[in-house]
Amino acid sequence: MLETKKIFIDTQYFVKTGLNFENSPLKAFRKLCEGNELFHISTSVVEREIEGKILLSVNEALNALKKFKRKAKILSSLQDEQILHLFSEIDEGDVCKKAIGVFTKYINDCKTEYVEATDVDTERLLDLYFDKKAPFGEGKKKSEFPDAISLLSLKSHIEDDEKIYVISDDGDMKSFCDDDLQFISIDTLDKLLDLYSLHTNIRTKIVKNYFVENEISFKERIKEYLESCDVYNVSTWEDAEAEELEVTNIGKIDPSVIYISDEESQITIDIDIEYAVTVTGPDFNNGFHDKEDGRMYTFGSTTRTSTVTDTYTVEVFLSYEFSNGNLENAQVDSFDIHGVAGGIEVDVEENEDWY
CB 107 within 8 A of CB 46: no
- Rounded to whole angstroms, the Cα distance separating 22 from 24 reads 6
Backbone angles phi, psi at 52, to 5 degrees: -65, -40
* Domain tally, the chain: 2
Judgement on whether residues 158 and 217 belong to the same structural domain of the protein: no
* Res. 290: pLDDT tops 70: no
Residue 355 has a pLDDT of: 46
143 falls in which pLDDT band (50, 70, 90)?
A: low
pTM, whole model, 2 decimals?
0.79
Task: Kindly tell me if the per-residue pLDDT of 46 is higher than 50.
Answer: yes
pLDDT over 80 at 166, yes or no: yes
pLDDT at 107 over 70: yes
Give residue 341's pLDDT.
87
> Could you tell me the residue range of the domain that residue 270 belongs to?
202-354
Based on the domain organization, do 235 and 329 belong to the same domain?
yes
With cut-offs at 50, 70 and 90, classify the pLDDT of residue 126. Answer: low
250 and 324 in a single domain? The answer is yes
> Same structural domain for residues 179 and 235?
no
Within-domain flag for 45: yes
- The answer to whether the CB of 140 falls within 8 A of the CB of 103 is no
Same domain, 301 and 168: no
How many C-alpha atoms does 156 have within 13 Å on its Cβ side?
A: 19
pLDDT band at 146 (very low <50, low <70, confident <90, very high): confident
Q: What is the pLDDT of residue 142?
A: 59
Residue 285 DSSP SS3: helix
Tell which of 193, 214, 241 closes a domain. Answer: 193
33, 110, 154, 155, 167 from 40: Cα distances, Å: 7, 7, 12, 15, 11
The CATH code of the domain that includes 181 is 3.40.50
Task: Report the candidate in 197, 304, 212 with the shortest Cα–Cα distance to residue 259.
Answer: 197
Average pLDDT value for residue range 19-36: 94
Residue 162 and residue 23 in one domain:
yes
Query: Is position 1 within any domain?
Result: no
Last residue of a domain, one of 193, 219, 252: 193
| Residue scoring higher pLDDT (125 or 335) | 335
Arithmetic mean of pLDDT, 14-28: 92
